[in-house]
Amino acid sequence: MIIAIDGPAASGKGTLGKRLAKHYGYRHLDTGVLYRAVGFALIERGIDLNNEIEAVHAAESLDPEHFGNPALKTQQAGDAASIVSAFPRVREALLNFQRHFAEEPPGAVLDGRDIGTVICPDADVKIYVVADPVVRARRRTLEAKGRGEAADEALVLADILKRDERDQNRPVAPLKPAEDAYLLDNSNLDIEGGVRAAIDIVEAVR
């Protein structure tokens, strides 16, 4: 069983993915972490984020042991991810890891931008999560403050809109719902409400 969750920045897909995986006893992969790790590797080494060759090299030598690094959660890492993720060869380098993860038993939940469209086009269930950008900015600001980072909601909103626009308009694997994805708008739902709505979707197709 493979559950694919896609959606724009800060739509709540990561939290939803984690909760669904726990509910069903499946493994969970937040695929944004892979692109964040590539971007962060370049930042750490002072390399220009537009350097495709170095970005591909970083993608080919990722170490999953480092995926838990808190530095990957920052807005800076997210922005860097959205730049390096536009390189087709970076995406290619990360493809097998994601597909293998999806196929290992007992089942998996993957969340990202292109899971239902590119990584797992045959996923059993595809959910496309959306939420009002203002709501997303508020949630992300609270999250950042919770980690003790300074965050201004208006700037966070501007960043989210810029990232959505970049992810939706890139030529390779742009952010968009798969044709057979179920739309879940969680603008007016809390976490529990979103999880219940997603479980209803999974149960309806299982």
Binding residues for ATP, as ranges, are 7-15
Binding range to ligand C5P, per CB under 6 A, among 58-66, 79-87, 134-142, 190-198 = 79-87
- Any contact of residue 85 with ligand C5P (CB under 6 A)? yes
Near ligand C5P by CB under 6 A: residue from 16, 19, 20, 36 = 36
- Any contact of residue 120 with ligand C5P (CB under 6 A)? no
Q: How far apart are CA 117 and CA 126, in angstroms?
A: 9
Q: How far apart are CA 23 and CA 21, in angstroms?
A: 5
Binding range to ligand C5P, per CB under 6 A, among 46-54, 108-116, 137-145, 185-193 = 108-116
- Any contact of residue 116 with ligand C5P (CB under 6 A)? no
Of 58, 169, 46, 177, the closest CA to residue 115 belongs to: 177
Radius of gyration of the chain measured on its C-alpha atoms? 16
Of 142, 183, 134, the closest CA to residue 160 belongs to: 134
Residues 6+ apart with CB under 8 A from 79: 39, 159, 163
- Any contact of residue 167 with ligand C5P (CB under 6 A)? yes
Binding range to ligand C5P, per CB under 6 A, among 32-40, 124-132, 146-154, 193-201 = 32-40
Q: Tell me the one-letter amino acid at 115.
A: I
Binding residues for ligand C5P, per CB under 6 A? 9, 31-32, 35-36, 78, 81-82, 85, 112-114, 163, 167
